Structure 1
């Protein structure tokens, strides 16, 4: 990777961390340059659209991170129950490994900025739509017996997202684990 691409990736990494831990409004250009030890000129070179453009890149990166978790869980599972368990285990690990500073990479900016910024709202919607599609595909591929897989995918995504927020507030993974236990019977494989 070229030095320019490394710098651009570093900007997005720092912004994503700041958004998750402090929120969009606390993620300023000065904070990004200070935390990432990045010259301001490099930031504007790679992101002439400024703060919002950086946030959009961070949303996309966060979307890809969770997409990878979902894909890996689906590829490693032979039942829908195993898929859900793997997803929850991955998020539990993320929470504990970051001292409960990070959960969903997109939820905080969604709560803070949607619907105030049309570009950010559209980017968050796109990410959530992709995650929903990935979950629904897993339910179909793994032969979930539930008759309404689109609605079940919405329930799974919503329940896990909500549990991630509760886990961060409580600084434990109990909510995710309890949610998993309640969801597993709904996701039985044929």
Structure 2
């Protein structure tokens, strides 16, 4: 029963944070949504709301990171992998009826600097996600600097598109932007492959 209560609190908090952000989610909201007794919060989370939100956010980031890494590893062509990521995000939005987007965006927009551990989780999350994209592009032959710029473009467009899709309740903007971003990735990969033989020729024997 104790484990069930703790699990319910984690699941309820994860949903509330994605909907309302850190400051918009109160302890009463968490207790009401989870059906947990009032005294159970500090029993399971002695650090109170901060500890609970930190644990929930860390878990959400881990799940997104794992899924992104799997999506990127599933395709040898990074352009195809990125298109699938846009499609996956579009499906996610449709399935939750445009009520939920990125799990950490509401926390970032709330300004979590008064909870340093939470702010660090958010900073590290974007660093990880952008890093996974950058590494994928570099492996495909894209120069490091351009790979970083493309990774930033993909991540920032996805974050913005989730907001637009939720506001308009329409997934089509993701498909439109995916076409443009995928075209840029294809050009970058082709350019990298063309440049590699020339670079190799310049190396000393």
Same fold (TM over 0.5): yes
Report how many residues are paired. 187
User: 2:14 and 2:141 mapped to 1: Cα distance?
Assistant: 34
Which structure would you say has the larger Rg?
2
1:9-38 Cα deviation digits (max 9, x unpaired): 332221110011122223111111111111
* 1:89 match: 87
* 2:173 match: 175
CA apart distance, 1:116: 4.5
Q: List runs of 5+ in structure 1 lacking aligned partners.
A: none
Scaled by the length of structure 2, the TM-score of the pair is 0.83
* 2:41 match: 43
* 1:26 match: 24
- 8 Å Cα contact 2:54-2:118 kept in structure 1: yes
1:6-21 to structure 2, matched below 5 A, reads 6-21=4-19
Q: List runs of 5+ in structure 2 lacking aligned partners.
A: 191-205
- 8 Å Cα contact 1:69-1:87 kept in structure 2: no
1:89-125 Cα deviation digits (max 9, x unpaired): 1111110000101110110111112444433221210
User: 1:12 and 1:137 mapped to 2: Cα distance?
Assistant: 32
* 1:145 match: 142
Scaled by the length of structure 1, the TM-score of the pair is 0.89
1:50-129 to structure 2, matched below 5 A, reads 50-129=48-127
1:118-156 Cα deviation digits (max 9, x unpaired): 332212101111111221222233x15365212221111
User: 1:74 and 1:92 mapped to 2: Cα distance?
Assistant: 17
- 8 Å Cα contact 1:73-1:83 kept in structure 2: yes
